[in-house]
Structure 1
Amino acid sequence: MSQVLDTPPPTVAAPPGDLAALAARHGLSVSGARPSLPDYLRRLWARRHFITAFATAKLTSQYSQAKLGQIWQVMTPLLNAAVYFLIFGVLLQTRKGVPDYIPFLVTGVFVWTFTQSSILAGTRAISGNIGLVRALHFPRAALPISYCLQQLQQLLFSMAALLVIVVVMGVPPALSWLLAIPALTLQFVFNAGMSMILARAGAQTPDIAQLMPFVLRTWMYGSGVMWSLDKVLAGHSGLPSWVGDVLRANPAAVYIDLMRFALIDSFHAAQLPPHVWALATGWALLAGVGGFIYFWKAEETYGRG
């Protein structure tokens, strides 16, 4: 006697539109989906305490194994300035014709280090914290911003030493020192934007982190950190005029010039590029807003793959 076995009918997959409607009806959404830009900003603002705590913790732990501890936050840029003074100021004589060369040099080194360290840290902000990115759900922009805030905190420690150097070298305190506040604010926005651009690029192509030190070193030499751009350009009169315009308008040189103008009496307004505050604001908005949007567009890709 034969036995007839009933087989279940084949399962028919629901059309994608039906699945989307079913998910929407039950309040389901794609895990890790990119939120809208206004919603992303709200979420990032809600994590502001995490951003500041993360930055402070990174800063505190940076020299935790060193015997001198947090003193290295000031000693490191001072030693860099000393090396640059020996090589460029003494051996290459770039200090000739530059009044208050030591405050001029130290200001340039400190301000440049702020940008350099922010960008280098931002390049590894995602790739260097991949475990945190995969384990927790939070706006990923919090990481590069935290690293920039860490570098700003370190710069503020260094600024205390810078002001002492400026006074010791015979430059009296002045109301113009208050101009350092808007200058640093604009530079922080610029650094944060660049950090987010490089964070996305570094997350997708880790080799960028190996390339950036060479790019930044070239950028530093073209930003007048160790010498006066006006003096160098005057000594190379055969260069096209646009070369000087590009060098003076590059963002690192603009923020360095603003800080020198704020802190050093002998650095006059005539040494600043035309419309310097407009340039500083424009660079901050271009990098800050553009970098934020560029980073946000790849939000759902971080930590995957």
Structure 2
Amino acid sequence: MANTAVADADSGLTGAELAARYGLTVAGERPTLAGYTRQLWSYRHFIAAYANAKMVAAFATARLGRVWQVLTPLTNAAIYYLIFGVILNTKGEIPNFIAYLCVGLFIFNFTQTAVVQGTQSISGNLGLIRALHFPRASLPISVTLTQFQHLLTAMVVLVAIVLVTGEPLNLEWLLVIPALLLQSIFNVGMALGMARLGAKVTDLKQLMPFITRTWMYASGVLYSVDNFAKHLPGWAQTIIEANPLLIYIELVRHAMLESSPLTSSTTRLWLVGAAWALAAFLGGYLYFWRGEQEYGRG
């Protein structure tokens, strides 16, 4: 084989022609989109195991361990209830403000944490990336999977809060499942897109707390969504109502709460929520795939 290759080189074949003849490829070359998707599927067990390991490690040094999965959102809810519900007295605007607030916080936190940690999923794992060969999209996807597992625990607590505060259990609660499915798809796309941005602009992680805090205030988490129509001009209200997190929060609130204000009809909420999930996933996946050969270099 070696003698044959030498003879071919002597015959005047170019490097590209020699590589094509002997099936050689460029090291680190980006695979085709279909090939990349197949690679990701073959690494599904690695993604699940890595997500589980990250979830266990997150509370490994805390004495209460995974109890913090419940205590953290409950503590946040108590603080925001004190500030917005009691001090600013917004609880009078909304029936069952406690449940309304908790739904908003729990659902918002699912996306917020997935996006923030997704931003650092490449830049924060350069040692792993440079040591092992695997499709890099495994990292932001595993981030979303980890946060989904946290959400499942939080939803058990949320269901208890909603029931204790007087909301009846009915068949509409089943709509929470497709709403969270759409949000999860949206989160995967956002985590993928932000992972590439975070790898290119390492200072982005410093800006994320300010970005997500603004996003929370624009998502009607802490107060009635009716305030958007009362205090914003028409064009700004239209932009706010297209906010994907506001939409997913409203879908879950509408399913679990009897009297929850909405910015638009439920049919529109479902259609726009599905459009956001599809656009974010396809856009984030394609954007991340196009930078696959860049990760871990430099």
Mark yes or no: TM-score above 0.5: yes
Question: What residue is the counterpart of 1:129 in the other structure?
Answer: 125
2:228 paired residue among 227, 230, 233: 233
Q: Under a length normalisation based on structure 2, what TM-score does the superposition of the two structures give? A: 0.93
| 1:65-120 deviation per Cα after TM superposition (whole angstroms, max 9, x unaligned) | 11110000111011111111011111111112201111100000000000100000
Map of 2:138 onto structure 1: 142
Q: Any stretches of 5+ residues in structure 1 without a counterpart?
A: 1-12
CA distance in 2, matches of 1:250, 1:63: 32
Distance 1:88 1:171 in 2: 21
Corresponding residue of 1:41: 37
Which residue in 2 is equivalent to 1:256? Answer: 249
> Are residue 192 (structure 1) and residue 185 (structure 2) matched?
no
| Contact persistence 1:44–1:141 (CA under 8 A) | yes
Task: Give, in angstroms, the shift of residue 63 of structure 1.
Answer: 0.8
Q: Which residue of 1 aligns with 2:214?
A: 218
**In the alignment, what sits opposite 2:287?**
294
> After the TM superposition, which residues 149-168 of structure 1 pair with which residues of structure 2 at under 5 Å, given as runs?
149-168=145-164
Q: Are the counterparts in 1 of residues 251 and 266 from structure 2 also a CA contact under 8 Å?
A: no
1:169 to 157, 165, 169: 165
Query: Secondary structure at 1:96's aligned position in 2?
Result: helix
State the Cα distance separating 1:235 from its structure 2 match.
3.8
Question: What is the RMSD of the two structures over their aligned residues, measured on CA atoms?
Answer: 1.8
Task: Quote how far apart the aligned CAs of 1:269 are.
Answer: 6.5
Q: Which has the larger radius of gyration?
A: 1
Query: Given that residues 257 and 272 in structure 1 are in contact (C-alpha distance below 8 angstroms), is that contact kept between their aligned partners in structure 2?
Result: no
Alignment of 1:45-84 (within 5 A): 45-84=41-80
Q: Work out which of the residue numbers 279, 285, 300 in structure 1 matches 2:278.
A: 285
CA-CA distance at 1:251 after TM superposition: 0.4
Closer, same or farther: CA 118–25 of 1 in aligned 2, 3 Å: same
Task: Tell me the distance in 1 between the aligned counterparts of 2:159 and 2:61.
Answer: 28
Give the letter aligned to residue 253 of structure 1: L
2:159 partner amino acid:
L
Structure 1 counterpart of 2:204: 208
- Give secondary structure in 1 for the equivalent of 2:92: coil
User: CA separation in 2, counterparts of 1:110 and 1:240?
Assistant: 29
- In the alignment, is the contact (CA less than 8 A) between 2:224 and 2:261 conserved in 1? no
Asked if the contact 2:229–2:237 (Cα under 8 Å) also holds between the matched residues in 1, the reply is no
- Percent identity between matched residues is 51
Cα deviation code 1:193-236 (max 9, x no counterpart)? 11111100110110001111101111110110011111x13542
Tell me which of 83, 88, 108 is aligned to 1:112: 108
Flag the 1:206–1:15 CA change in 2: closer, same or farther, 3 A.
farther
Tell me the secondary structure at the aligned position of residue 135 of structure 2. coil
1:133 & 1:105 partners in 2: Cα distance?
40
Q: CA deviation at 1:267?
A: 2.1
**CA separation of 1:15/1:42 partners in 2, compared to 1, >3 Å: closer, same or farther?**
farther
Equivalent residue pairs, number: 290
Aligned to 2:86: 90
Structure 2: tracts of 5 or more residues without a match: 1-8
Whether the 8 Å contact between 2:129 and 2:296 is mirrored in structure 1 is yes
**CA contact 1:202–1:208 (8 Å) conserved in 2:** yes
Q: Which amino acid aligns with 1:286?
A: A
TM-score, length-scaled by structure 1: 0.91
